[in-house]
Structure 1
Amino acid sequence: MMENKAAGHSRFPWTQVIAFLFSIILTFAAVWIGIWANLSYRVIVAAVFALAFIQAAIQLFMFMHVSEGEHGIWQVGKMLSAAFLAFVIVAGSVWVLNSMH
């Protein structure tokens, strides 16, 4: 029987499995911080946002292969500019909503 093995596709994807497990751990850490940690509200929100950012970065680079290909650096630049715009929109919205009397 002939096996059709492409280059690089015959081995087990350990990096993806490890990234998936790390994403699951980050999710449970965020849940633990949100429910069981005896911290102030601001610290909880900051910690959950930080864990979400790390998890998004893992998923972008490990599963969506953002940095691979011939235009890898451009893809990373586009992602960073999109993240900056999202941050400006969210921060501006929070600022406007908190400044209302």
Structure 2
Amino acid sequence: MKELFPLKQVMGFIFSLILTIVALAVYFFNMSFPFGMTVLLVTAFIQAAVQLVVFMHAGETEDKKSIYTNIYYGVFIALVTVFGTLLTMIWGYM
């Protein structure tokens, strides 16, 4: 019976709820903007990783190396796009 209980999924769900409560604390405790944004970004990235690994089963296939490589590539492209946009539109470099 123990092998039929989805302990990993339940723990992932509880951890996601805790991360959501931490993110809501930014609003309810009226934190400063820099500190609040830092907390929100950290909890968002951790929660995205939990969702990928636990609920989308990213590491449970035989080709998990290619799946993680594609995830790293996607994150890299997203960061280049965001910081490239900030560099040209806000910080004034062309």
Same fold (TM over 0.5): yes
Give the whole-Å Cα distance in 2 for the aligned partners of 1:96 and 1:82. 21
Give me the CA root mean square deviation: 1.6
Say which of 79, 93, 97 aligns to 2:89. Answer: 97
What letter is aligned with 1:11?
A: L
Aligned equivalent of 1:4:
none
List gaps (5 residues or longer) in structure 1. Answer: 1-9
Task: Please give the secondary structure, in 1, of the residue aligned with 2:61.
Answer: coil
The percentage of counterpart residues that share the same residue type is 33
Q: Which has the higher helix share?
A: 2
Query: In terms of Rg, which structure is larger?
Result: 1
Query: Which structure 1 residue ranges, 4+ long, deviate > 3 Å from structure 2?
Result: none
Q: Distance in 2 between matches of 1:49 and 1:31?
A: 13
Which string of whole-angstrom CA distances, capped at 9 and with x for unpartnered residues, describes residues 31-86 of structure 1?
Answer: 11233143x31221121011000000001000111112110111011101101111
| TM-score, structure 1 as length reference | 0.79
Aligned to 2:44: 52
Q: What secondary structure sits across from 2:4 in the alignment?
A: coil
**TM-score, normalisation: structure 2:** 0.85
Segments of 5+ residues of structure 2 without an aligned counterpart are none
State how many pairs are aligned.
90
**Residue 29 (str. 1) matches residue 16 (str. 2):** no
Q: What is the aligned counterpart of 1:70 among 58, 62, 65?
A: 62
- Distance 1:87-1:35 versus aligned 2 partners, 3 A rule: farther
The whole-number CA distance in structure 1 between the counterparts of 2:4 and 2:19 is: 26
